[in-house]
Amino acid sequence: MKIVFIVHQGFDYLQDLSYSGLKKILGTNITEYPWRPPYHLPLKRYPKNLGFSWTPPHPRVRLKDADVVIVGAAKPDAFHTYLRIAAHIPAQAKAVFIDGGDRAEIGGDLVRLGAGELYHKAMAIRPFDYVFKREYLREHDHGAKVFPLPFSFNFTRLPRRVAAEKRYDVAFWASNNVPIRDQVLRLIVDKYDCAQNGTTLHQTFDPIKRKGVNYLKELQRCRIVLNFRGGGWDTMRYWETMAMGSFIISGEPRIRIPHQPIHEKHLIYCADNLEDLNERIQYYLTHEHQRERIAARGSRFIRAFHSDEQRARFIVTTIG
């Protein structure tokens, strides 16, 4: 299978993870278009380097030889590129859209960005044969050609394991610009060691301590990491925390997740109204063996089912 992968030139979590996984299994049989330097050169820090691999940009798959053309993001520049080349895509090639946007509607982030007409133009010129959707709500049915594709973790970005020392009890390093996050922070801000570790209402992020790979190491130093939705249900923190082997208490994502992590086996979900959040935190702070056993199972589970490579194999298998 030969793929031309149309990219947004900024960083996009799902685009970058999808490209990274596909590159691992297809090698030189996938080419991004236009050329995106951060995919081939170490120009960015985590998480903006999720798509990076030490691979040369050549040889490149030519459009006329492509079996599949993928639009990698719900971003205007990617759709402008698709519209420019759509007429030249081979008739037998499959057209695919990877929608990693926050909105539940297919292509909804284009509307949010003021470019909703681009999706309709694309469908009029060359409709997509398959769509892979991050925010595929459980109650929605988008039809037979739309598939869930949540975030994953690129294990080549995994830092060397730090010492087993746990420095922080409970951490939720997030802005409170979403109602559920604001509610969570107000419930915990004056408890545990939150004030000391930076879990506050109006957070600023230390550019050295909690940026790049140091952010992943800091997650690993937490006894309990909290996770709650942002603009969409799916968050990188959900996958990062388990991948790093840390224990997570999370709001349950109301999206379709194939091989979804299981409550009390891989992580802990709390009630939607947060009524049991502090009770669960207090319980698992004082039950270390149980907490660490769940965290270890979660880490193994993410590696087995939720790596960028596993997502890429799902894409390739689905489109045939």
Q: What is the pLDDT at residue 289?
A: 98
Q: What is the C-alpha to C-alpha distance for residues 96 and 319, in angstroms, rounded to an integer?
A: 9
Domains of the chain, each with CATH number or no CATH: 3-149 (no CATH), 156-305 (3.40.50.2000)
* Long-range contacts, stretch 28-32, CB < 8 angstroms, 24+ apart: 28/55, 28/59, 28/61, 29/1, 29/2, 29/3, 29/61, 30/2, 30/3, 30/4, 30/5, 30/61, 31/3, 31/4, 31/5, 31/60, 31/61, 32/5, 32/6, 32/7, 32/72
Q: What is the C-alpha to C-alpha distance for residues 97 and 74, in angstroms, rounded to an integer?
A: 8
**Residue 162 backbone phi and psi in degrees, to 5:** -85, 170
Q: What is the C-alpha to C-alpha distance for residues 174 and 201, in angstroms, rounded to an integer?
A: 9
**Contact partners, residue 19, CB within 8 Å, separation at least 6:** 5, 7, 30, 32, 39, 51, 72
Q: Which two tokens stand for residue 36?
A: 């995106």
Q: What is the pLDDT at residue 85?
A: 97
Q: What is the pLDDT at residue 205?
A: 66
**Beta strands 248-251 and 268-270: pairing type?**
parallel
Count of C-beta atoms within a 10 Å radius of residue 143 = 8
Q: What is the pLDDT at residue 55?
A: 79
Give yes or no for a contact between 149 and 131, defined as CB atoms under 8 angstroms apart. no
pLDDT tens digit at each of 320 positions of the chain: 999 999 999 999 999 999 999 999 999 999 999 999 999 999 999 999 999 998 777 789 999 999 999 999 999 999 999 999 999 999 999 999 999 999 999 999 999 999 999 999 999 999 999 999 999 999 999 999 999 999 999 999 988 776 668 999 999 999 988 999 999 999 999 999 999 999 999 887 665 578 899 999 999 999 999 999 999 999 999 999 999 999 999 999 999 999 999 999 999 999 999 999 999 999 999 999 999 999 999 999 999 999 999 999 999 999 99
How far, in whole angstroms, is CA 125 from its chain's centroid? 29
Tell me the whole-structure pTM to 2 decimals.
Answer: 0.95
Q: What is the pLDDT at residue 56?
A: 78
Q: What is the pLDDT at residue 232?
A: 97
